[in-house]
Amino acid sequence: MIVDDSGDRRFGVTGNLVMTTYIEQQQKAISALEQGRVIIDFQKLQEFDSSAVAFMLECVRSSKSQAKFSSLPKALRGLIDLYGVADLLDISRG
């Protein structure tokens, strides 16, 4: 589920981001990106797998490289490093 918690250019990914929820999460993210909400906050993300990395890359592609990411769990940062895609993602340290 995507939650708009501040009314600005930010939206949050909540719940799970795994293979079985990827399509639903991605559709909501693309809708939010089309509305100009390009800061994707993972603070309320519960469970994830490598689908989260694919999700992030698709957000970058869909937003024409405007998507930015915040509050990534440490393990997700580890997957990003493992797959060698950190340079493709705008990740804040917050």
Transcribe 16-55 into DSSP letters. EESTTTHHHHHHHHHHHHHTT--EEE-TTEEEE-THHHHH
Per-residue pLDDT at 4: 43
Confidence of residue 2 (pLDDT cuts 50, 70, 90): very low
From the candidate CATH numbers 3.30.420.10, 3.30.750.24, 3.30.70.270, 3.40.50.10610, the one assigned to the domain spanning 2-91: 3.30.750.24
Where do the structural domains in the chain lie, given as residue ranges? Answer: 2-91
The answer to whether 17 and 45 are in contact (CB under 8 A) is yes
Q: Please determine, for residue 5, whether its predicted confidence score (pLDDT) is greater than 80.
A: no
- Per-residue pLDDT tens digits for 31-53: 999 999 999 999 999 999 999 99
Measure the CA–CA gap between 19 and 21, rounded to whole angstroms.
6
Measure the CA–CA gap between 50 and 89, rounded to whole angstroms.
15
Q: Is 93 helix (H, G, I), strand (E, B) or coil?
A: coil
Q: Quickly count: other Cβ atoms within 10 Å of residue 17's Cβ.
A: 26
- Per-residue pLDDT tens digits for 61-80: 999 999 999 999 999 999 99
- Per-residue pLDDT tens digits for 80-90: 999 999 999 98
